[in-house]
């Protein structure tokens, strides 16, 4: 009897029926190795005795759950959604379908789905770790999930065949002609190691993933939907590789928050100029489906990837989410180009590369052509922000991921651009996120919510400190909570509808609506903590001459400007060192 059978029996059992589980089922439901249960039985005399020993030891599930209620899950063993204080009893109950007796502890609502995800990755991780080309291994697995989702008949042929010659034919089911690297097909056909990993991947996905794309929920019975599996594996592969040479994966919670803030309607023209693996575009498609839009209306959604690896994954991602999009042809892997093509757009959503030294625009822009100032050459942050804002329709809105440093950068060029964007009413909201939100960088991030310039005398900016809208998920990662994300969206929309009036934060959010006059006093600093902390006490001596203080302040300001100019000059001249 497996975990699946236990869950089914738990669901089907009557009110008075005693539920019995084996040692293996206890281990699977609690998310531990089988040896752990044997150790518990040997080391703890109070562990429940089996109520039946033929044909195997069978334990009363309720008794096991009560015993596991006293064992907290250590921090490094928690799954995503499990917080401090959660017990193995809680995980066990939710997995096998027993009543929850600890409602004060917050965990993921579907622990059975979390258990499936954990087992899915545990089965695939060895192949990734052993592979000499880990990027290619990821693409092979993601392509298999894509075929599962969009071509169940071809998937059945893959599952039944033992002939490598069929592989190339089945890959034709993928949504793009160049959707798989030719060298991957060659390795699967000719290399025994890759053939073995291919067949292992097929068996694992047969076991844990439901073919097809019709189901909107996360799992169907004892399997994950293909979309849920694809999303989860994107995250786990990013976590395992720790860094990328091109575009970083946008976490599902962050991508969904960006979409909810922009709220694209079915007729809105939506664009993602750095679509990465397609996670933001997929979130747009899910948002439209959740709001009853016909999938054919996704013709208004488009994107562009900077790297061929990301492009292949993005094309597959949109297909798995039920609406394959035309994301252009395979890109030339040029990570130095900053461009927002076409427009005007109703919505722009993007997570561009954070550092692009010696970047260039696809169409050269003269110094006077930048609407808010020529960006420095040592990073492209304010080049992206300006091009995104310029690509918006009159009522357009944009959300972009940026390093938190952009909200308070001190170099003169970036500070002047930020000030000009604020003065013109382009910056609507800044949402500060904590460290460890992304798998491939531990740096703190911020979301910039932008719009077209506003012609009104006082246009303030909403600044939100969203650190408490997140929770830990393991030792080195944080995720947005559902409640935290909802509070951010509700707060921003309420502030927007009120015309920028003062607001009252909900939940654990810290937020402040800052007037343009106050922003000027702080050199257009957009860091929430600058305005949320108590004002500094006045330590000025009464005997100080006000004119002398003003003169000293002017001297310091002149010195700071000179230093900024020198720094910008040096950074623009700095070229990456090539061995």
Convert the pLDDT of each residue in 323-366 to its tens digit: 888 787 788 777 788 889 888 999 999 999 877 878 888 777 76
pLDDT at position 4, please? 45
User: Which parts of the chain have pLDDT scores under 50?
Assistant: 1-16, 103-109, 541-543, 575-579
pTM above 0.85, yes or no: no
> Helices (DSSP H) in 97-164: which residue ranges?
111-130, 134-150, 152-160
* Calpha distance 413→63 (Å, rounded): 66
Rounded distance, CA 294 to CA 5, Å?
38
Spell out the residues 6+ positions from residue 535 whose beta carbon is closer than 8 angstroms to its own.
none
| Cis bond before residue 18 (omega within 30° of 0) | no
Q: According to the model, what pLDDT value does residue 236 have?
A: 93
Instruction: Return the pLDDT at 16.
Output: 44
* Helix, strand, coil fractions of the chain, as percent rounded to 5: 45, 15, 40
> Angle, nearest 10°, between helix axes 308-320 and 279-290?
20
pLDDT for residue 327 = 84
Q: Do 576 and 358 touch, CB atoms closer than 8 A?
A: yes
Residue 344 φ/ψ, nearest 5 degrees = -75, 155
Q: Which CATH class is domain 252-532?
A: alpha beta
Question: By the 8 A CB rule, do 98 and 61 touch?
Answer: yes
Beta 209-210 vs 223-225: how paired, if at all? parallel
Q: Which residue in this structure is represented by tokens 């209620």?
A: 69
Dist. CA 571–CA 412, nearest whole Å: 12
pLDDT for position 251: 92
- As a whole number of angstroms, the distance between CA 270 and CA 412 comes to 33
Give me the DSSP letters along 229-293.
HHHHHHHHHHHHH---SSPPPPPHHHHHHHHHHH---TTS-EEESS-TTSHHHHHHHHHHHHTT-
Q: Which two tokens stand for residue 74?
A: 């250590």
pLDDT at residue 106, as a whole number:
45
Domain assignments of the chain as residue spans, ordered by start: 3-109, 115-241, 252-532
Distance, CA of 189 to CA of 147 (rounded, Å): 18
CA distance 176 to 150: 12
Pairing of strands 20-21, 59-60: antiparallel
Q: Do 30 and 53 contact (CB within 8 A), yes or no?
A: no
List C-alpha distances in Å: 366 to 13, 356, 369, 371, 419.
73, 19, 5, 11, 20
Q: Is 183 helix (H, G, I), strand (E, B) or coil?
A: helix
Output the CA torsion 1→218→281→239 (10° steps): -40
Euclidean distance between CA atoms 351 and 305, whole angstroms: 11
Give the C-alpha separation, 173 to 466, whole Å: 42
pLDDT at site 406 = 93
């Amino acid at each position: 009897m497996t975990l699946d059978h236990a869950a089914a029996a738990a669901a089907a059992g009557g009110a008075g029926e005693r539920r019995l589980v084996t040692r293996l089922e206890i281990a699977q439901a609690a998310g531990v190795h089988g040896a752990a249960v044997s150790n518990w039985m040997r080391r703890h005399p109070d562990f429940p005795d089996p109520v039946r020993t033929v044909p195997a030891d069978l334990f009363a599930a309720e008794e096991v759950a009560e015993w596991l209620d006293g064992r907290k899950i250590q921090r490094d063993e928690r799954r995503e959604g499990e917080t401090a204080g959660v017990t193995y009893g809680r995980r066990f109950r939710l997995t096998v379908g027993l009543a929850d007796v600890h409602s004060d502890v917050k965990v993921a609502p579907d622990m059975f789905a979390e258990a499936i995800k954990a087992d899915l990755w545990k089965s695939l991780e060895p192949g990734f770790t052993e592979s000499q080309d880990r990027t290619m291994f990821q693409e092979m697995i993601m392509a298999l999930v894509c075929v599962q989702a969009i071509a169940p008949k071809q998937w059945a042929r893959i599952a039944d065949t033992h002939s490598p010659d069929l592989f190339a034919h089945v890959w034709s089911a993928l949504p793009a002609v160049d959707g798989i690297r030719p060298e991957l097909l060659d390795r699967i056909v000719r290399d025994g190691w890759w053939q073995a990993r291919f067949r292992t991947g097929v068996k694992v996905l047969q076991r844990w993933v439901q073919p097809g794309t019709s189901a909107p929920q996360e799992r169907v019975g004892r399997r994950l939907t293909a979309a849920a599996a694809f999303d989860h594996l994107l995250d786990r592969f990013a976590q395992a590789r720790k860094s990328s040479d091109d575009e970083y994966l946008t976490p599902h919670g962050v991508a969904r928050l960006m979409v909810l803030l922009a709220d694209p309607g079915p007729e809105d023209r939506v664009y993602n100029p750095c679509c990465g693996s397609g996670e933001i575009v997929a979130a747009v498609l899910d948002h439209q489906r959740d709001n009853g839009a016909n999938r054919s209306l996704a013709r208004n959604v488009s994107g562009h990837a900077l790297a061929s690896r990301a492009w292949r994954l993005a094309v597959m991602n949109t297909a798995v989410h039920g609406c394959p999009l035309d994301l252009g042809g395979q890109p030339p892997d040029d990570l130095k180009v900053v461009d927002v093509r076409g427009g005007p757009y109703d919505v722009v959503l993007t997570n561009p590369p954070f550092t692009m030294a010696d970047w260039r625009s696809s169409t050269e822009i003269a110094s006077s052509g930048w609407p808010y100032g020529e960006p420095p050459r040592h990073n492209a942050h304010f080049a992206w922000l300006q091009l995104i804002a310029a690509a918006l329709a009159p009522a357009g809105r944009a959300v972009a991921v940026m390093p938190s440093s952009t909200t308070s950068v001190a170099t003169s060029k970036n500070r002047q651009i930020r000030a000009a964007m604020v003065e013109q009413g382009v910056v609507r909201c800044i949402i500060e996120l904590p460290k460890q939100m992304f798998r491939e960088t531990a740096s703190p991030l911020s979301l910039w919510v932008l719009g077209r310039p506003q012609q009104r005398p006082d246009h303030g900016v909403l600044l939100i400190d969203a650190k408490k809208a997140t929770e830990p998920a393991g030792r080195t990662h944080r995720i947005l909570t559902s409640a935290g994300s909802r509070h951010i969206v509700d707060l921003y929309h309420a502030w927007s509808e009120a015309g920028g009036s003062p607001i009252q934060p909900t939940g654990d959010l810290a937020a402040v609506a800052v007037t343009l006059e106050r922003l000027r006093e702080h050199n257009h600093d957009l860091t929430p903590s600058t305005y949320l902390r108590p004002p500094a006490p006045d330590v000025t001596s009464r005997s100080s001459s006000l004119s002398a203080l003003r003169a000293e302040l002017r001297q310091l300001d002149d010195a700071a400007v000179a230093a900024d100019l020198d720094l910008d000059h040096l950074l623009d001249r700095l070229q990456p060192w090539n061995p």
